[in-house]
Chain A
């Protein structure tokens, strides 16, 4: 039985510190986040500052396949860097040499779009706050992309709650079929190629920022030898009941339609997988080669070899998955796949595939790689430029610039799915329908008593000599419906804990 798809994004942003001779991306990221946190505090800032992250439950080295191969590299956790929990339930931190923001847990693709846009607005406010603290002539700039065009990549990861009982091998088969082909509407577009052994100009333009960096079919790594299907087995929830599919293959999207489809279609394909309802299994002869081929085929007509000896195009894989998803929803309903939003996902999925089939240029206001390509082609024609011209590469990077006065995506006429006021509220208000509600409310109301928090617990210090941990192993509990009343008329953390029945650590 498919479990309701709790979903969320973790986005690592590109960062540039301008106006200094030896920029350090780690300190720039810390400065950016601290500037935001300081700006949130009523002045003067209280002694304790922001609520930090609790690492005691982190297990990023656990492998979903059981025993990890001996050469597997377990990710390192950097506990000394800035790491804050926000009142909207999100986590805002420095990861490696990037600022990263994880959205709170959401129940559908639309909600993810709201919190992803809120994350962009948080980055925008962070840049403005940093500017007030930096010497004149310096600036910190944030980019929402996944590659620097020089062989370095950083991720936009997706997370989908799944049933523990589903065999991991089945997840691998269906996730691979979807991830290799969904690029045709999820790709953020990129000039050039960054695969070892090829020159950057060997390809003019491709659909995906990430395809060049994916080298394995399945694996635990996220920083080298990146796999199509990541096996990190760290559910941040009751591990006996749940898995979390941690997806590292995707691009960060500027287009809200692309984010909506990326999350909505993947949640559907994973529910189909849990209930064994995908229909025929589509196994590529060479998934990594197929992933790259799809990314480099702007015609969307490349035949991909299947293990049964036949071939299929990326578009036809997506048509098959859409048909299976429609049939699934008709018989099993939408409970596990985002409720009322599901019909919107299905109809948009269909209309986008239709346009991709007929004339992809129709999607210049919906799909990032097409929107960016339109800008590049028009700009190239106006100035008579070769694909290798630095100005075109500047357009590519600046498409993802989050500064409102510089962002080219913001000027490209992209359709929006959520209004700006809703996204602004979501910068500080948590979703109401997951445990993020409880986390966010605790931080809004009792931040002074919260020592640390993480995805599935919060630790309180109520001043009686012992710390008290509230566990949240169920991502779909702790919602406004479950605990909203407990916050009514509750004026202290100790009273909240009493109401929750928590009396000891």
Chain B
């Protein structure tokens, strides 16, 4: 972490850009993570409750 901060130590002009860019990027990734979390919650809810039995019994005949 310390190392990263050191590398990032910006020149004054870079610092401005960094400050501007960071919140937007964080917001977006938080949003994506929230969406994924919601999706995972939903999968937990609708996924076949006894996955083992479900997968075992999913047997099809070859077709075509």
Contacts and interface: CB of A to CB of B under 8 A. Distances in A.
Contacts of B39: 375, 378, 411-413
B60 A223 contact: no
A218 to B, nearest CB: 16
Given A378-B36, A378-B40, A413-B35, A394 B64 contact: no
B5 interface: no
A393 B51 CA distance: 8
Interface stretch (A151-159, A468-476, A485-493, A494-502): A151-159
A97 B55 contact: no
Contacts of A96: 61-64
B55 A394 contact: yes
B31 to A, nearest CB: 12
Interface stretch (A8-16, A118-126, A173-181): A8-16
Nearest to A399: B43
Contacts of B59: 148, 150, 152
Contacts of A147: 60
- A95, A100, A379, A405 — most chain B CB neighbours (10 Å): A379
Nearest to A145: B60
B46 A154 contact: no
Contacts of B62: 96, 152-154, 223-224
A394 B48 contact: yes
Nearest to A403: B46
Contacts of A155: 63-64
B60 A148 contact: yes
- B52, B55, B56, B60 — most chain A CB neighbours (10 Å): B60
B43 A15 contact: no
A14 B55 CA distance: 13
B14 to A, nearest CB: 25
A326 interface: no
25 contacts: A14-B60, A95-B63, A96-B61, A98-B63, A147-B60, A148-B58, A148-B59, A149-B58, A152-B62, A154-B61, A154-B62, A155-B64, A378-B36, A378-B40, A382-B40, A389-B51, A391-B51, A394-B47, A394-B48, A394-B55, A397-B55, A406-B46, A411-B39, A411-B42, A413-B35
